[in-house]
Amino acid sequence: MSSVTEISENKDERFSEIEERLYFVRDKIMNWENRPMIWDWSSEEAEEYVEAVYEARRLTESLKSLCFNGDIVENELLWRARNVLHMAMVRLEEEFTHILVQYRLPFESATISCSSSDTVSFEDDVSVLLSINSNSEECSIDLINPDVIPDLQCIAHLMFDSNYIWECTDAFINSRKDVLYDLILEVENLRIEDMPAMESATFDTKIKRCTRAMTNFVVVYLSSEKWLSDQIFGDFDSISSICFAEASKASMLQLLSFGKAIAYGPHRLETSSRFLDMYELLADLSPQINVLYANEFGFDVRSEWEDFVRMVCNCVKRTFLEIHDFMASNLSTRAVADGQIHHLTRYIMNHINALTKYTKTLDLLLTDPNNASESASCCVSPTALHIRSVMSDLECKLNDISKLYQDDSLRHFFLMNNTHYIALKVQGSKLRTILGKEWIREQYRKSEQQAMDYEGATWSSVFSLLKDEGIQNPGSNSISRTLFKVRLRRFYSAFEEIYKREAGWLVGNNDLWKDLQIAVAYKVIEYYGTFLGSDSSHLNVENMKYAIEDLENYILEIGCL
């Protein structure tokens, strides 16, 4: 009986001691209720307050272990202790939020510190940002003044130890969510309904801005936001991932909505390069997104990101394959003047040439997943097959356009010009490795054949006038002077007609035209000289309108005026 009485007395003494200490701690905590922010006051005051809170938590834990009889007085003291601790937690939550807001570094002054001392701003090239991303361990950006990180860690530990985990994380999430969302609001708002009819130049500008914004946001700000979460909550298992995912989700989804609006933009040929740029960017950023949102807490963002990547992938395919429909819909009703290189030829070749830097990406996107093994065994890449198909369509289209010329000479001249231009463009670019040497040689052979066809259509009738057949006197091998003069006049007339007609024709390649001029000049001079020599006895200066040298010079002027 005496031992029970002794235990009871000891318990009463313990409660009295706890009650006395609790009142002391309560007064100390209450003393700060109507005063400025503690951590703004002084580090000493902050340390004292933290110690008081820890004491309140220890007293609460002690009372919980002692209150097992359901005594009203004991329970009332426990309730008071919990009330004091709650009061302190509310104040700590305010302090935590205040520090996050007060010591936030503005984005416009935030710098990226790398070992190379490079500074990256919002307007820097995407390639620079991606190179920084590949060396992320050497780069950092402070979103909060580094001096207050220990204070945030201290408050977080104190609130977590007191079972106020979600109050602390909510304070962090709400504060950082607003900051990141405000940053996204600086990006130009893009609406799906505005995209399809948008001008190409305007769309080009918007897609570049969206690409830069997305790169900057993921590479710089999301990475730094994750780093900040890890600094403050890194000791608490998955809490850091939860805080990061919840703080960044709204802004990330909003940014993706801008990107999806871009994907609804005009799917014209001129936009294919921009869509490819965006797809390659997303491919480069996807591993980082998967790391940042690695667990179940980031599932929503990962899922939306993957949907966005698929949308852009489909945009790339549609715009790339659009080239066939583009050529089919290009209905020429009038032949281009003077057999020049057609605007369609220039456009298609420039477009295809611009896409050569995306060959690896296009090979990946154009490979049929259902026939991946067959594609892998094929010696020709999917991109090469598609470009060859485009070249074949272009050749057919040019043949159709050439039929608009009523003059056979000009028709062959047009085909020669365009075919040779295509061959030169391929040979002088990365297309040569895609289409191959044999394909280029075949184009040159076609160009040479078209040059021969031009020569035949233009000069064969002229050459026939310089033959001595049909100008002999009846019943004799002697040349009829009258027929000779008539034939010569007809030759001069035909030559002058060709000169007048073709003097303004434009040749796409000077070397090609010079070779053709020399070949024609050689034959004309040979035929002309032979014809004049066939009746030199009857020839006089009056009959000879052009000297051989004159004809050569005139021929060399054709296509050069």
The model's confidence at residue 541, banded by pLDDT at 50, 70 and 90, is low
Q: Does residue 13 sit in helix, strand or coil?
A: helix
Do residues 245 and 169 touch, judged by C-beta distance below 8 A? no
Cα–Cα distance measured from residue 394 to residue 410, given in angstroms and rounded to the nearest whole number: 19
> Which range has the top average pLDDT, 333-337, 349-353, 379-383?
349-353
Cα–Cα distance measured from residue 165 to residue 159, given in angstroms and rounded to the nearest whole number: 6
Task: Name 178's Cβ contacts closer than 8 Å, sequence gap at least 6.
Answer: none
* pLDDT tens string 21-43: 888 888 888 888 878 888 988 88
Tell me the β-bridge partners of 160: none
Mean pLDDT of the 273-294 span: 92
Among 171-175, 255-259, 275-279, 376-380, which stretch is predicted with the lowest mean pLDDT? 376-380
Mean pLDDT of the 434-456 span: 92
Residue in the structure block whose two tokens are 């050497």: 138
CA-angle at 122, arms to 116 and 128, nearest 5°: 40
The model's confidence at residue 289, banded by pLDDT at 50, 70 and 90, is very high
More confident site: 519 or 111: 519
Going from the C-alpha of 341 to that of each of 344, 428, 493, 517, 557, the distances in angstroms are 8, 17, 29, 19, 20
Task: Name 283's Cβ contacts closer than 8 Å, sequence gap at least 6.
Answer: 309, 361
Cα–Cα distance measured from residue 169 to residue 165, given in angstroms and rounded to the nearest whole number: 6
Mean pLDDT of the 369-381 span: 61
What pLDDT, on the 0 to 100 scale, is given for residue 558? Answer: 72
The model's confidence at residue 335, banded by pLDDT at 50, 70 and 90, is confident
Going from the C-alpha of 269 to that of each of 45, 209, 274, 327, the distances in angstroms are 66, 20, 10, 11
Among 113-127, 230-244, 452-466, 532-546, which stretch is predicted with the lowest mean pLDDT? 113-127
Going from the C-alpha of 391 to that of each of 342, 345, 398, the distances in angstroms are 14, 10, 10
Mean pLDDT of the 286-302 span: 92
More confident site: 192 or 435: 435
The model's confidence at residue 133, banded by pLDDT at 50, 70 and 90, is low
* pLDDT tens string 390-409: 999 999 999 999 999 988 98
- Burial state string for 382-398 with b = 16 or more CB within 10 A and e = fewer than 16: bbbebbeebbebbbebb
Among 43-52, 109-118, 161-170, 190-199, which stretch is predicted with the lowest mean pLDDT? 109-118
More confident site: 476 or 132: 476
The model's confidence at residue 281, banded by pLDDT at 50, 70 and 90, is very high
Looking at the predicted structure, is the pLDDT value of residue 440 above 70?
yes
Element (H, E) at 406: none
* pLDDT tens string 501-538: 877 776 767 777 778 888 888 888 888 888 877 665 55
Looking at the predicted structure, is the pLDDT value of residue 435 above 70?
yes
Residue in the structure block whose two tokens are 């002391």: 24
We find that the CATH architecture of domain 126-308 is Up-down Bundle (1.20)
- The domain ranges of the chain are 2-102, 126-308, 330-457, 466-561
The model's confidence at residue 369, banded by pLDDT at 50, 70 and 90, is low
More confident site: 457 or 189: 457
Residue 535: how many other CB atoms lie within 10 Å: 20
Burial class of residue 188, CB neighbours in 10 A (0-12, 13-18, 19+): exposed
Element (H, E) at 458: helix 437-465
More confident site: 285 or 560: 285
* pLDDT tens string 456-475: 888 888 888 877 676 666 66
> Which range has the top average pLDDT, 252-256, 420-424, 488-492, 504-508?
420-424
Going from the C-alpha of 406 to that of each of 335, 411, 414, the distances in angstroms are 9, 8, 12
